[in-house]
Structure 1
Amino acid sequence: MLRRRMLIMLGIVLLIVLVLAGYKAFSVYTLIQGFSAPKPPINVAVATASERPWQSRLPTIGSLKALQGVDLSLEIAGTVKDVQFQSGQKVKAGQPLVQLDSAVESALLETAQADLGLAQLDFGRGSQLIGSQAISKGEYDRLSAQLQKNKATVNQLKASLAKKHIVAPFSGTIGIRQVDVGDYLASGTVIATLQDLSSLYADFYIPEQSLPKIAIGQGVQINVSAYPAETFTGTVSAINPKVEDSTRNVLVRATLANPDGKLFPGMFASLQVILPDPQNRIVLPESAITYTLYGNSAYVVAQKKASDGSLEKDDKGQPILIAERRFIETGERRDGWVMITKGVQSGEQVVTAGQIKLDNGAHIAISDDKTLTDKNSRPRTD
């Protein structure tokens, strides 16, 4: 009886073990089938590498300078008697700006002019008397010299008096005034800045190896941070005939019009010199490029091949597409496009969106979903 019960219990345990083993085997089989099942393709957006005329440019940075610009300052000391301009006013050449107290110089000029008049009378009498030998030749020469001396004194005082009267040396816009009526100003004191803003210079440096690419009259595109959406155009007007010893750079000057007065001297400028002879170059959308420290790359659409070299096809008879990662060499970037110098041929399709899910050899499907492109339009920087 006891033996029978033991056999029954042993049979029950054996049955439980078999059931558990079967369940485990079924789970492992299901997992294996899941791994071995083909993964669905990854949807990506693509663009075709195309060859188009590419206008090469030489990027550089520089600063803006006025066509004419000075800091108005005094040559001689004096007290301000009258300020004849307003801050920010547009002035004409020769327009009075500041009048210094000139009472002393005016009085000295009157004295000198009186002495000059007397010297002219004495010289006139001497000229009549020298003919009749009533005076000596030496006396006549003394009278002549005295006349010249008095004339020089008058001219000197007139020049000194003129320096008390400050006028605009050229037409332009005057800055914020730095003086007031009654101020005593030493020589060299700055009154205000005067800038001619009708046209501006853009001075920039280029490396000496780029010098053969630059010529007078070439176009220049200029951007400033104050107006990021606007591009100003100018032309190369001068090339410095000297290479800087310390930097091996050459100073170049471009001239640009400023009719609206938007640009000010001293602004930082980002420039692009338009180089001649545009050439056909392969270009890609900037979103197709993955930028990394060890090199730039892009995913090119390729067809999967079997071990014998034949093209593999899906159950619908269509070629199986894969993403082939290639390292590329890039050139200039402009307006969302990148020039490709090596790694991609014209006519090849390149992934422009969906790269974040890809790896080399990944199965892909080309999608027409516009949202995919919109969400992944920025270049990757893995």
Structure 2
Amino acid sequence: MANCAKLRSLHSYRHALAISALAALAFAIASKPTVAQERQAAFDADCLIEPSARVELGASVSGLVKDVLADRGDAVTAGQIVAELDSGVERASLEVARARAENDHEVLSKRSRMEYLTKKSNRITKLAEVKAATEASRDESDSDLKQAEQELREAELSVRMAQLELRRSEALLEQRMIRSPYDGVVIERTLSPGAYLHDQAHVLTIMQTDPLFVEVYLPLERLGKIQVGDLAEVYPEVPVGRSLTAKVSVVDPFIDAPSATFGVRLTLDNPDGSVPAGLRCTIRFRTLVAGQRHDAG
């Protein structure tokens, strides 16, 4: 009888373990995302890495190219002079304007004369009050003082006009300088020293590589699942060979009817310039699953 009781107890224990295991398995199956949900959580799309800006550099005036200071493949910085037109006349005009703007001798002379006439007028006024000077002499002194004040104002105005002319000459010279509008890389050089630059031509083509733009077109069913500010993993083709993180900056509010797609632009920081523009890539987004949003990672 004792052996039968032990057997019944062991059987009950195994039955309880089996029920517990089945319950755990059922809970795991219920809590695990389905294949469809996993596909909804992460999906890949083809993309293209492009420069954030591209500009053909010319000048606001026409002229003979004096020098080109950058060539294809050179890195340039914002404000750097990359080319220069012939500016001999503008430089000479600038020197004349600077000399005039810095010449304040006439102002100093007129100011000194006015100070002298002010003191003289004060003395004559005091003498006239005690009848030691005539009214005519006081009127003459006052008139001389007013004339000196007017001459000082005219001299100061002349200096001011000379300073404005200096600024104008500097601006005219600056028009002959061609500067890079941003940090970037020269990808094309079209003119050399001695060539004539007209209003339809350009000297260099520069593209901005920090940041880069990642352009991708997604199918219509993804509309509303991508939001500005979302993160995504970008997998460029070789030679980068590593994943990068980009942030959604533009989601087109319209659909391309023939292809039933919409465009998305992401911004990719590239401070060291290690990622070249023009690469094809694959991008992985994280979208909504069961009402929750997941970042890329």
TM-score bucket (shorter structure): 0.5 to 0.7
**Counterpart for residue 129 of structure 1:** 113
2:248 equivalent to 1:264 = no
Which of 50, 74, 95 is equivalent to 1:65? Answer: 50
Which of 66, 87, 104 is equivalent to 2:72? Answer: 87
Structure 1 residue 128: Cα displacement: 2.6
**Counterpart for residue 243 of structure 1:** 253
Change (3 A) 1:102 1:276: same
Q: Deviations over 1:223-276 (max 9, x none)?
A: 67xx69968543333245x834987987643123556755425x6766443214
**Counterpart for residue 102 of structure 1:** 87
Q: Which amino acid aligns with 2:248?
A: S
8 Å contact 1:105–1:157 — kept in the other structure?
Answer: yes
Change (3 A) 1:215 1:112: closer
Q: Deviations over 1:173-215 (max 9, x none)?
A: 1112111110111246322122232441124466597225435
CA distance in 2: counterparts of 1:229 and 1:67, whole angstroms: 19
Q: How does 1:215-294 map to 2 (within 5 A)?
A: 215-221=228-234, 232-239=243-250, 243-244=253-254, 252-257=264-269, 261=274, 263-265=276-278, 271-277=283-289
8 Å contact 2:256–2:262 — kept in the other structure?
Answer: no
Q: Which amino acid aligns with 1:216?
A: G
Change (3 A) 1:138 1:262: same
CA distance in 1: counterparts of 2:239 and 2:88, whole angstroms: 54
Change (3 A) 1:221 1:116: closer
Structure 1 residue 146: Cα displacement: 1.7
TM-score by length of 2: 0.60
- DSSP 3-state at the match of 2:223: helix
Q: Which amino acid aligns with 2:82?
A: L
CA distance in 1: counterparts of 2:90 and 2:215, whole angstroms: 44
CA distance in 1: counterparts of 2:221 and 2:202, whole angstroms: 38
8 Å contact 2:47–2:283 — kept in the other structure?
Answer: yes
**Counterpart for residue 33 of structure 1:** none
Q: Which amino acid aligns with 2:95?
A: E
Between the aligned residues of both structures, percent identity stands at 19
CA distance in 2: counterparts of 1:229 and 1:219, whole angstroms: 17
How many residues align structurally?
A: 225
**Counterpart for residue 30 of structure 1:** none
8 Å contact 2:225–2:287 — kept in the other structure?
Answer: no
CA distance in 1: counterparts of 2:67 and 2:282, whole angstroms: 43
Q: How does 1:1-382 map to 2 (within 5 A)?
A: 52=35, 54-56=38-40, 57=42, 63-118=48-103, 120-131=104-115, 132=117, 133=145, 135-187=147-199, 189-204=201-216, 210-221=223-234, 232-239=243-250, 243-244=253-254, 252-257=264-269, 261=274, 263-265=276-278, 271-277=283-289
- DSSP 3-state at the match of 2:204: strand
Structure 1 residue 104: Cα displacement: 0.3
Root-mean-square deviation (CA), in Å?
A: 3.8
Between 1 and 2, higher relative CO (CA 8 Å, sep ≥ 6) is seen in 2
8 Å contact 1:83–1:98 — kept in the other structure?
Answer: yes
- DSSP 3-state at the match of 1:71: strand
8 Å contact 1:172–1:197 — kept in the other structure?
Answer: yes
CA distance in 2: counterparts of 1:268 and 1:100, whole angstroms: 38
Change (3 A) 1:205 1:135: farther
CA distance in 2: counterparts of 1:197 and 1:229, whole angstroms: 15
Change (3 A) 1:88 1:237: same
Instruction: Select the structure that is richer in helix.
Output: 2
Q: Which has the greater radius of gyration?
A: 1
- DSSP 3-state at the match of 1:193: strand
Q: Which amino acid aligns with 1:237?
A: V
Instruction: Select the structure that is richer in strand.
Output: 1
CA distance in 1: counterparts of 2:287 and 2:43, whole angstroms: 7
8 Å contact 2:223–2:262 — kept in the other structure?
Answer: no
Change (3 A) 1:230 1:116: closer
Change (3 A) 1:238 1:75: same
